[in-house]
Each structure stands twice: as structure tokens, then as C-alpha cells.
Amino acid sequence: MASVPPDAASLDVVGIGNAIVDVLSHTDDAFLIERGLAKGAMTLIDAEAADRLYACVGPAVECSGGSAANTMAGIASLGGTGAYIGKVKDDQLGRVFRRDIHVVGVAFDTPPAADGPSTARCLVLVTPDALRTLQTYLGASAELGPEDIDPATIGRARITYLEGYLWDPPRAKEAFLKAARIAHEAGRKVALTLSDPLCVERHRAEFVDLVNHHVDILFANEAEITSLYQVADFESALRQVRGRCEIAALTRSEKGSVVLSAEEFHVLEAEPVEAVVDTTGAGDLYAAGFLYGLTHGHDLATSGRMGGIAAAEVIGHIGARPETPLAALVKKKLG
Amino acid sequence: MASVPPDAASLDVVGIGNAIVDVLSHTDDAFLIERGLAKGAMTLIDAEAADRLYACVGPAVECSGGSAANTMAGIASLGGTGAYIGKVKDDQLGRVFRRDIHVVGVAFDTPPAADGPSTARCLVLVTPDALRTLQTYLGASAELGPEDIDPATIGRARITYLEGYLWDPPRAKEAFLKAARIAHEAGRKVALTLSDPLCVERHRAEFVDLVNHHVDILFANEAEITSLYQVADFESALRQVRGRCEIAALTRSEKGSVVLSAEEFHVLEAEPVEAVVDTTGAGDLYAAGFLYGLTHGHDLATSGRMGGIAAAEVIGHIGARPETPLAALVKKKLG
């Protein structure tokens, strides 16, 4: 198979993930080292640790984040149709999250939690090398459960896109598996991003099983895919993943990406970027471009290039969602 | 007088203003024209209009704002000491505001409102020409009253800095006059920014009286000072303002600034800027640099240059508070 053909589905993609508001601030390596924070990765922290860290990071800006939510915002910016499933609380930051995803045209109807922990926050610490270190307090997002998976929404979407981060909160995993089952029963495709190397560490065996049995389209970066198969290099990981799912789209930062299926293998160069300001959202936006391409009749190589273009936009500025309409950008680059 | 000499005061500046969280988003002229919004100015809107507008602006980021609060953050970034007086509600955005001003080292002890309207929000619409159009819902910030003015804090500060925007909410004006009186009784200086041309329109007669009788150091841009004296050009405004207050620091965007007192007159060029991204906070940061200079024994011309350097930093990126430590920047530029 080369691409997901247009059919009667009324949505291109439904994304399911942890609904999070990002708190972005600039920092330096010394700050990370002093506090023993895992640079470049996502670490889960509790409310108390989040408050403690928040109190000592520098001037910050808040903006909606969440990996799959960023991807959905990217798909909408490309002109695609999408829905999002995730849990916020009915508080100010929850309303900010809801507004930001609605305003770009993504349907988001998961009922907010009326009480319990506050809307999830991710402290995004951007170092001068533009790398980001994520410290996440899952809060209300961890309340997502199978009851939040609307079968009609999943059935209407060509692709159901799931973030590996969902394996962290206890009940989201059930939601995840329910969504995958409904999607496949409706003849739809299931896509997964491995999300983060530490997330792969935490859930390796289950992720290997998922990829073998439940996932049609896999997204991972080099660190994630080599960790998944516990191999030393990218080439070994490629041999491992081939044939295990229909399509794998593997990103390699400035080295571009590799897209492969049973019959195809494409090595794609990275899009040129003037200045890398903040890599937050690079993987999320690559997935956005790729899924948009796939659901709009483009071949694997073109879909991969769309992913690269979307990723290049988002790393050129602070924040994990596009600032420039991606549809126009892709048109300019691909004609 | 040339500068405010260091004395026993333990604070350089106390700023009093509307405590506001900014919601920044990119837009275009068509959006402003369609909705009849006054480009480049600050307009007050009610909660309903704020919600309506918020629902249709594009992807947004939230960050702490408020004119005088931005100035205080700038003074702290320059290495100065300061306090801030303003009213937030005890809600999520109120806590964001409090955190952001505390984290840069500015004292902020005004008790938050326990109930009533939510923390103030300003929708900052940035057009491709980098100009910003402000639509402000005053919310809890309008609850500031004379009871929030702590005489000890005012008495400890060399300069009490007030924003003209305080003339808008009903009781802040009383707070403003109380602070000015206490400052003068303690032998301190009072500084005022005219804030905005539309704000000058709303309160012209009272502002003229203020400048004549209560203000030692006046900040205004070209549009504000010509509006204040209802004159056609900047030169006429200069003739009007001279002698009415001790020092006037008048900004002119890319044309730099003019600083004058009874004995001095300095025309200062604008600092070179690589790319103007967002002019939000330019005036606030000019005031920060100028007040820092004045309270650290620098002459008027050097203080004006410090203002220009701080303003140039803030217009080079999105948001109204410095991203680069200003103390290092000033040291590099002025040696």
C-alpha cells in the first residue's frame, strides 16, 4: 500500500493524547544538571515537583501543547480535517487549551473534568542549543478513559493517531486499545508515535507488541526506534521494523527522515531551516505533514517531504504549533 | 537636576499598574478592519467582547503583561530593585502573573481578589508590520484601590512609576493620587507614562493637570504628547512640555527619543534592530532602561540610551518582557 485512499470517511485524522498546556522558558545546561533533569527527554513529575520547578524557571509563556494535539493543529493548518480526544479540567488553562484547538478548526468534544487535578502542564525548558527538556505534570489529562472514546468519531476518521505518552496514565491505555479496535473494525488505519526514548524505556515490551499487532503506521525518531529494538544503530532498527507494520516514518533531526513500507524505502533530506530556535513539536509536526499527505492521496515520499516542511516551520520559532499557515508553505515548496 | 542620586531608599522603583495577562496572536489588517479595531492603540472591552474576540483570534500564547509590570521586569533584568502594585484574582492566570513577576525578582504583595471578575486579559493582535493592537478586558485589575497602596513600599522607592492606563478603572485613580502624594511627602520622585493616545483622549484635561502638578518624570511617545497638548507636530509638543515637569523622555519609534529637562536637551538615535518582530512593550522597556539609568547615577543621555537598548531587545521577539538579560546587553553596548 502506498497511501490511504480517500473514501467515505468525513475526517482525515482523529488524534488521541494527553491534553497539556506548555509553559515555555529559556534556560541553560547548568540549570538542568543542577536539578538532574534528563535533557531532551520527557519526564513525568507530580504536582508538588511541578510547582517547585515552576517557581524557579525564568520568565515563561504559556501555550497549548500536547503531542497529538500539536499534530492535529498541524493537520488543520495544512487544510486537513481532524478531531481530538483528550482530557482537560474545566479551569482557565483547560479553556485556553480548548480555545486553541477549536480556533484552528479541530473538533474537540471530550467533556472536561469538573473536579480533581488541574489541567496538565508541561514545563518546556529550552536550552541555547534549541533542544527542549520536558517536565510534565499530567493532572487532569490522566483522567482520560475508555468512556471518552466516541466510536462514531473514530469510525469517521481515516486514521486514528495515538501518542505513546498515553501509555503513562493508567486508564488512557484502555482508551487507546479501545480506539484502535474500533478503528480497525471500521476498516480504518491506526497510527502511533513512540513519543520519547524514556517513554519507550518504560513500556518497551508493550510497545513492541503494539507495533506487531495493532499499528499500521509508526512514527519514531532515531533514539526511540533503536531503544524499541534495543539495537546499537539506526540501520539495525530499520531491519527490525521493516515488515512489522505497514508504514514506518522515522525521523533523524538534521539528517532528515526515512520512510518505508514492505515495497518502498525512501531516504528524505531535512528541509533547510534558517535558524533552529526551539525543537519542541518537531516530531509532532512531522507526523502532521505525513498524515496529511497520506490522507490526501500523496505517495510516501511526498508525504515524508510534507512532514519535513511542517517540522522545519515549527522549529524556527518558540512553541510547538505552526505560526505560518502550513498549506501555503507546502504549496510554495512542493508547487 | 540631572539624575536621581542614590540615597537611603532600598528600592529603585515601585511600579503601579493594571495587572494583565497578555494573549498574543498574529493577525492581519483585514481582521482589524472587519471588526473596526483601532490599530496600534489600546481599547477597553468588556468580558463578553473579550470572549467573543478570543474565540476568533488565531493560535495564541499567553504571557504576563501589563505596562508598568513589563517595566518592572525590565528594571529587574537590568539589575535594579523594584516592587509592583496591581490587582489579580486568585485564579490560574493570576498565579501565572504573580509567578512571572516574582521569578524575575520584583516584589509583588498586593493581595489578590478572592472573588469577582477574573484576572485581566489583553488580546494583543500583532500584524505583519510588527505593530500591536491591544484589546483589554480589565477584570480584576480594575479592583485596585487606595487600600492597596502600601505607604512603606512607596516611601522606600526612589521613584514611584505610574501608568496612565490607571486612569481608566474607577478606583485606581485614587490609588494613583495616594501613591503620588506619599512619594512626594517622602521626598521621592513620581514618574508617569501617558500609556496610549486613546488613553490621552479619554483623560486629557486630568493628564495635563497631573503633568503640571504631580509628575516629575514624564514618558510619552510622539502620538501621546502631541495629543496631550493638541498640537500638530512634535516640535510644538516639545515647547509645551518643557518646564512643566523636571524631565520628559519622549520616544519616537525608529527615530529614537528626545530627553529634556530645564537645562538639558538630548536627541538620541534609535538602537539598531535586526528585525522588528513585535513592538509590544517597546515603550514599557524604554521606561525601564531610563528609570534604571536615572536611579543608578547615570546622566539623562545615558539613561535614554539604556532605554533605547532595552526597547530594541523587546521588539526583536514576540512578547513584552525581555528574553535576554538586559544588564549584560547594556554592558556590551555601553561598555
Please check whether residue B130 touches A, CB under 8 A: no
Nearest to B277 by CA among A317, A230, A223: A317
* pLDDT tens for each residue of A43-87: 999 999 999 999 889 888 999 999 999 999 999 999 999 999 999
Work out the minimum CA distance from A299 to partner chain B, whole angstroms: 30
Strands B107-108 and B120-126, sheet pairing? unpaired
Task: Note the maximum CA span of chain A.
Answer: 54
Beta-bridge partner residues of B24: B61, B124
Whether residue B61 and residue A56 make contact (CB cut-off 8 A), yes or no, is: no
Query: Grid coordinates in use for B265?
Result: 536637551
Asked if A91's CB is within 8 angstroms of B59's CB, the reply is no
Residues B188 and B287: their CA atoms lie apart, in Å, by 17
Q: Is residue A26 within 8 Å of A63, Cβ to Cβ?
A: no
ipTM of the complex: 0.75
Residue A178 to chain B, least CA–CA distance (Å): 31
Does an H or E element contain B281, and which?
Answer: none
CA distance B199 to chain A (A): 27
CA–CA dist B306, A102 (Å, integer): 43
Q: 10 Å Cβ neighbour count for B58?
A: 16
Chain A residues with CB under 8 Å of B26 CB are 323
Chain A residues in contact with B58 (beta carbon < 8 A): 103-104
Does the beta-carbon distance from A58 to B104 stay under 8 Å?
yes
- Confirm if A125 and A27 have CB atoms less than 8 A apart: yes
Angstrom CA distances, A301 to A2, A281, A311, stand at 10, 21, 15
Q: Do the Cβ atoms of A322 and B59 come within 8 Å?
A: yes
Residues of chain B positioned with their CB less than 8 A from the CB of A96? 62
Helix, strand, coil shares of chain A as percentages rounded to 5?
A: 45, 20, 35
Alpha helices in chain B (DSSP H): 29-34, 47-56, 67-77, 92-103, 151-156, 172-185, 197-213, 222-228, 234-241, 282-294, 300-314, 326-334
Angle formed by the axes of helices B300-314 and B67-77, nearest 10°: 110
Q: Report which residue type is found at B53.
A: L
Nearest to A26 among B54, B91, B323 (CB): B323
Please give the grid coordinates belonging to residue B185.
511627602
Whole-model pTM: value is: 0.85
The CA distance from B62 to B124, in Å, is 10
Enumerate the residues of chain A whose CB falls inside 8 A of the CB of residue B62.
61-63, 96
Question: Is-contact B194 B220, C-beta < 8 A?
Answer: yes
**A window 65-94, beta carbon within 8 A of B:** 73, 91-93
The reply to whether B26 touches chain A by the CB within 8 Å rule is yes
pLDDT for res B4: 52
Does residue A1 surpass a pLDDT of 60? no
Note whether B61 contacts A61, CB cutoff 8 Å: yes
Chain B CB within 8 Å of residue A321 CB: yes
The structural domains of chain B, ordered by start, are 14-334 (3.40.1190.20)
Q: Do A99 and B58 touch (CB under 8 A)?
A: no
pLDDT, tens only, A138-177: 999 999 999 999 999 999 999 999 999 999 988 998 999 9
Closest CA to A320 of A52, A60, A65, A97: A65
CB contacts, 8 Å: A56 with chain B: 103
Residue A182 is predicted with a pLDDT of: 97
CA distance B157 to chain A (A): 24
pLDDT tens for residues A225-248? 999 999 999 999 999 999 899 999
- Give the list of residues 6+ apart from residue B152 with CB closer than 8 angstroms, or none: none
Q: To probe the interface with A, which of B26, B53, B92 has the most A CB atoms within 10 Å?
A: B92
Write out chain B's pLDDT in tens, 335 residues: 444 544 567 999 999 999 999 999 999 999 999 999 999 999 999 999 999 999 889 888 999 999 999 999 999 999 999 999 999 999 999 999 999 999 999 999 999 999 999 999 999 999 999 999 999 999 999 999 999 999 999 999 999 999 999 999 889 989 999 999 999 999 999 999 999 999 999 999 999 999 999 999 999 999 999 999 999 999 999 999 998 999 999 999 999 999 999 999 999 999 999 889 899 999 999 999 999 999 999 999 999 999 999 999 999 988 899 988 999 999 999 98
